[in-house]
Amino acid sequence: SPKPEDAVRAEAEAEAYLPDHLLGLIDEKRVFRPVEDIALTYGRLLGRAGEKHLRAALKGLHDEGRIEGFGPGTVRTKELRPTA
Protein backbone atom coordinates (compact mmCIF):
# COMPACT_ATOMS: atom_id res chain seq x y z
CA SER A 1 0.00 0.00 0.00
CA PRO A 2 1.18 3.57 -0.64
CA LYS A 3 3.21 5.19 2.10
CA PRO A 4 2.36 8.69 3.41
CA GLU A 5 5.64 10.05 2.03
CA ASP A 6 4.66 8.75 -1.44
CA ALA A 7 1.44 10.77 -1.24
CA VAL A 8 3.38 13.88 -0.23
CA ARG A 9 5.82 13.35 -3.11
CA ALA A 10 2.96 12.86 -5.61
CA GLU A 11 1.31 16.05 -4.34
CA ALA A 12 4.52 18.06 -4.72
CA GLU A 13 5.18 16.65 -8.21
CA ALA A 14 1.61 17.43 -9.28
CA GLU A 15 1.81 20.99 -7.93
CA ALA A 16 5.08 21.56 -9.79
CA TYR A 17 4.06 19.95 -13.10
CA LEU A 18 0.31 19.90 -13.73
CA PRO A 19 -0.60 23.62 -13.88
CA ASP A 20 1.87 24.49 -16.65
CA HIS A 21 1.28 21.20 -18.44
CA LEU A 22 -2.52 21.68 -18.44
CA LEU A 23 -2.32 25.35 -19.41
CA GLY A 24 -0.17 24.35 -22.41
CA LEU A 25 -2.76 21.77 -23.49
CA ILE A 26 -5.67 24.18 -23.05
CA ASP A 27 -3.85 26.97 -24.94
CA GLU A 28 -2.94 24.60 -27.77
CA LYS A 29 -6.32 22.91 -28.16
CA ARG A 30 -8.48 25.99 -27.36
CA VAL A 31 -11.16 23.63 -25.94
CA PHE A 32 -9.91 20.74 -23.83
CA ARG A 33 -11.89 18.03 -22.05
CA PRO A 34 -9.63 15.87 -19.85
CA VAL A 35 -11.82 12.78 -20.39
CA GLU A 36 -10.99 12.80 -24.11
CA ASP A 37 -7.36 11.85 -23.45
CA ILE A 38 -6.50 10.87 -19.89
CA ALA A 39 -2.88 9.99 -20.78
CA LEU A 40 -2.38 13.44 -22.34
CA THR A 41 -4.13 15.10 -19.40
CA TYR A 42 -1.77 13.66 -16.78
CA GLY A 43 1.32 13.53 -19.01
CA ARG A 44 4.34 12.19 -17.17
CA LEU A 45 2.31 11.88 -13.96
CA LEU A 46 -0.11 9.32 -15.44
CA GLY A 47 -0.64 6.66 -12.79
CA ARG A 48 0.86 8.84 -10.05
CA ALA A 49 -1.47 11.85 -9.97
CA GLY A 50 -5.21 11.54 -9.49
CA GLU A 51 -8.38 13.54 -9.87
CA LYS A 52 -7.73 15.54 -6.69
CA HIS A 53 -4.42 16.73 -8.18
CA LEU A 54 -6.12 17.55 -11.48
CA ARG A 55 -8.88 19.49 -9.70
CA ALA A 56 -6.35 21.45 -7.60
CA ALA A 57 -4.29 22.40 -10.67
CA LEU A 58 -7.35 23.49 -12.66
CA LYS A 59 -8.82 25.39 -9.70
CA GLY A 60 -5.55 27.29 -9.35
CA LEU A 61 -5.51 28.20 -13.06
CA HIS A 62 -9.16 29.28 -12.86
CA ASP A 63 -8.60 31.33 -9.69
CA GLU A 64 -5.66 33.08 -11.43
CA GLY A 65 -7.97 33.96 -14.34
CA ARG A 66 -6.02 31.85 -16.84
CA ILE A 67 -8.76 29.38 -17.84
CA GLU A 68 -12.54 29.25 -17.96
CA GLY A 69 -14.94 26.33 -17.82
CA PHE A 70 -13.91 25.09 -14.37
CA GLY A 71 -16.57 24.77 -11.69
CA PRO A 72 -18.45 22.33 -9.49
CA GLY A 73 -18.94 18.78 -10.74
CA THR A 74 -16.84 16.13 -12.41
CA VAL A 75 -13.57 17.74 -13.46
CA ARG A 76 -12.79 15.15 -16.16
CA THR A 77 -15.75 16.19 -18.30
CA LYS A 78 -15.34 19.97 -18.14
CA GLU A 79 -14.84 21.93 -21.36
CA LEU A 80 -11.81 24.03 -20.46
CA ARG A 81 -10.78 27.09 -22.46
CA PRO A 82 -8.03 29.68 -22.19
CA THR A 83 -9.20 33.12 -21.11
CA ALA A 84 -7.08 34.90 -23.73
How many Cβ atoms from other residues are within 10 Å of residue 80's Cβ?
22
Q: What is the pLDDT of residue 1?
A: 62
Q: How confident is the model at residue 2 (pLDDT cuts 50, 70, 90)?
A: low
User: Do the beta carbons of residue 60 and residue 19 sit within 8 Å?
Assistant: yes
Q: Rounded to whole angstroms, how far apart are CA atoms 6 and 27?
A: 31
Mean pLDDT, residues 7-22: 93
Mean pLDDT, residues 28-51: 95
Q: What is the pLDDT of residue 3?
A: 80
Mean pLDDT, residues 5-12: 87
Mean pLDDT, residues 60-78: 94
